[in-house]
Amino acid sequence: MVSTLTSLHLITACSGALVFCFWLYTRRGWRPNLPPGVCGLQGFLNLPSVDGKIWLQILELNRQHGDLASASLLGTHVILIGSAKIAEDLIEKRSVNYSDRPRSVMCGELSGWGKIMLLSNYNDWFRAHRKLFAQEIGSNSTVAKFHRMIEFETRRSLRCILDDPARLQAHVRKNFTSIILRISHGYVTQEGDDPLVELAHTANSQLSMASAPGLYYVDIIPFLKYIPSWLPGAGFKRRAKEYAAVLHDLVEIPHNYVKSQLAAGTALPSFSSRILGKQDLTEELEDNLKWAAATMYQGGADTANSVGYAFYLAMTLHPRVMKKAQEELDSVVGVRRLPTFADRPSLPYLDALVTELLRWHTPAPITMRSTRVDDEYNGYFIPAGSYIFVNIWAMLRDERTYTNPLEFRPERFLGDNPEPHPGSVCFGFGRRRCPGYFIGHSSLWLMCAQALAAFDISKCVENGVEITPEFNLVGEILAHQAPFKCSIKPRSSQAEALVRQEFSLSE
């Protein structure tokens, strides 16, 4: 009896201590020496409202509390980084501690995306995929073998845009997805709508929603993942099941396609066929390959096409830039052929235009990390397990780095004192830097070059009224320019003939 009473007293005392600590935490704002910011329920209720765009919310908090800010609730700490200098100091120079992803119950666990590199922690699984990527597309020299194929797919895309400019966004999406599917699985997309292009688009849309910070309560209260899916409020579990089914198709359908092509002796050279054809193939290596190829397919189908679509918006809004790039193309390449990769070193303004496009449009406005161990920076404590939110969008519009950052001005990257190249920020930091940088950048460059050589891009006129589209980034973790209207016409009959000219993959 005495023992039971003692236990009850101990439980009561511990419960009281926890309640008292919680009261201190939420009412008095007690916490360790974290970076300045908001804490407790009241602080979260007073977060700035900016149309649900998390990168703008983070920007407002950094403006209020500094480039290193924090938000804390119930022992969970979020560290908000708003400057490239701090991101470099922490994410680059201390990358061992800042290379994991925060736990994602909805996306990583319930929906199954945890085996994709984007969501995987920095571990042996991640490193194995990274190594496979490096062997296939890890440098300009490895990507060079795909130049002819990229030219083929780009020309095919230009013809589609010429014939049906109203479906511009779909044509751009198909261009980049076709390129990456040829590399990852040796799959040639069919004319018109292609099922694997649409599958990637659906999967990426679901990925963006499933990984959105704070959208699902199960990411805040993980034990909710164990409740039955039929209970009221458990709609997230039914949605996760739908997401998991789409992801299964994204991984398995192209992988099984390669295996069937290999069995029939008709497989085209690809990342997957090269490894599946090995004599010493193991189950472990095949599983690694299957998910690495799916990562390549998923990633290449989203970020590059997001920037590619924004290119047409940039040219619509900035005709001066378009005309200047076209003048350079005409003087270097002429008008009797379309530009190729061989022309790239002779086109500095076009190169600067693509660089400015990467700064101006941000397909991944934020990147998230998690700390493995406690850390300290400039006197502030960063606890182990903290969620690190790096505001890439804000860094690429920082007035301390870029003059008049809201302007689209390629000239900022030319001359004797160019402004910092955005590649060190927009492609991520440290050990999680985008492994598809070289293929994505090359594909984007050629699309811009050939589109400018072939087309005049301008504002639409409807009922005698010129329509000016808005720059409007929409989405969550993966963002795109909202649909817009523009006019796309061939620059001349000769330019149209060049686009329609037959183009063979064989030299």
- Does 39 show up as a binding residue in the annotation? no
Question: 106 and 209: one domain?
Answer: no
| Residues 227/215, Cβ–Cβ less than 8 Å | no
Q: 30: pLDDT confidence band, cut at 50, 70 and 90?
A: very low
Name the pLDDT band for 362 (thresholds 50, 70, 90). confident
CATH number, residue 58: 3.30.43.20
Contacts of 270 (CB under 8 A, 6+ apart): 182, 183, 184, 185, 186, 187, 258
Q: What one-character DSSP code corresponds to residue 418?
A: P
Q: Do 179 and 318 sit in the same domain of this protein? A: yes
Burial of 271 (0-12, 13-18, 19+ CB in 10 A): buried
One domain, residues 136 and 223: yes
pLDDT at residue 433, as a whole number? 85
Check if the beta carbon of residue 436 is closer than 8 Å to that of residue 430.
no
The total number of residues shown for the chain amounts to 507
pLDDT surpasses 60 at 152: yes
Report the C-alpha gap between 219 and 106 in whole angstroms: 6
Condensed to tens digits (0 to 9), the pLDDT of residues 55-98 reads 888 999 999 999 999 988 777 899 999 999 999 999 999 999 99
Distance CA 378, CA 335 (A): 57
User: For residue 234, what pLDDT band results from cuts at 50, 70 and 90?
Assistant: confident
Is 457 contained in some domain?
yes
- What is the token pair recorded at 166? 């109203």
Q: Count of CB atoms within 10 A of residue 342's CB?
A: 9
Domain of residue 369 covers 31-111+365-396
**Residue 249 in this model has a pLDDT that exceeds 90:** yes
Q: Are residues 92 and 153 both part of a single domain?
A: no
10 Å Cβ neighbour count for 235? 11
User: Are the beta carbons of 250 and 203 closer than 8 angstroms?
Assistant: yes
Please indicate, yes or no, if residue 233 is contained in any of the structural domains: yes
C-alpha 409/C-alpha 117 separation (Å) is: 34
State the alpha helices, DSSP H only, in 265-347.
Answer: 271-276, 283-300, 303-317, 319-332
| DSSP secondary structure string for all residues of 28-61 | I---SSPPSEEEHHHHHHT---STT-HHHHHHHH
pLDDT single digits (tens) 40-61: 766 655 555 556 688 888 999 9
Confidence (pLDDT) at 506? 62
Angle between helices 168-185 and 437-454 (to 10 degrees): 140
Model pLDDT, residue 194: 94
In angstroms, what CA-CA distances link 306 with 172, 365, 414, 474? 9, 12, 25, 11
From CA 438, how far away is CA 211, in angstroms rounded?
Answer: 26
Burial class (CB in 10 A: 0-12, 13-18, 19+), 142: middle
Q: How many CB atoms lie within 10 A of CB 191?
A: 7
Between residues 19 and 138, which one has the greater pLDDT?
Answer: 138
Do 409 and 491 sit in the same domain of this protein?
A: yes
Give helix 437-454 / helix 147-163 axis angle, nearest 10°.
40
Is there a single domain that holds both residue 193 and residue 49? no
Q: Is the pLDDT of residue 31 over 60?
A: no
Residue 11 binned pLDDT confidence (cut-offs 50, 70, 90): very low
How far is Cα 289 from Cα 283, in angstroms, rounded to an integer? 10
Indicate if 392 and 410 belong to the same structural domain: no
Shared-domain flag, residues 122 and 106? no
* CATH number of the structural domain spanning residue 123: 1.10.630.10
Mean pLDDT over 250-256 rounds to 96
Same domain (yes/no): 175, 241: yes
Does residue 10 lie within any of the structural domains?
A: no
Number of domains observed in the structure of the chain: 2
Q: Is residue 162 part of a domain?
A: yes
CA 390/CA 429 separation, integer angstroms = 10
Mean pLDDT of 364-381: 93
pLDDT band with cut points at 50, 70 and 90 for residue 24: very low
* Helix spans in 318-459 (H): 319-332, 348-360, 392-395, 423-426, 437-454
In this prediction the pTM is 0.88
User: Are 349 and 412 contained in the same domain?
Assistant: yes
- State pLDDT tens for residues 344-353: 999 999 999 9
Q: Give yes or no: residues 79 and 119 share one domain.
A: no
pLDDT of the residue at 7: 34
More confident residue, 6 or 147: 147
- Assign 456 a pLDDT band (cuts: 50, 70, 90): very high
In the DSSP assignment, the letter for residue 76 is E
Q: Are 236 and 179 part of one and the same domain?
A: yes
Mean pLDDT rounded to a whole number for the chain: 88
- Look at residue 20 and tell me if it is in a domain: no
| 114 CB neighbour count, 10 Å cutoff | 18
> What pLDDT digit, counting tens, does each position of 309-346 carry?
999 999 999 999 999 999 999 999 999 999 999 999 99
Q: What's the pLDDT at 22?
A: 43
Distance (Å, whole) CA 141 – CA 132: 16
Domain for residue 402, yes or no?
yes
The model's pLDDT over 178-217, given as tens digits with 9 standing for 90+, comes to 999 999 999 999 998 999 999 999 999 999 888 888 788 8
The two structure tokens encoding residue 15: 């419960």
User: Domain end: 355, 379, 396, which one?
Assistant: 396
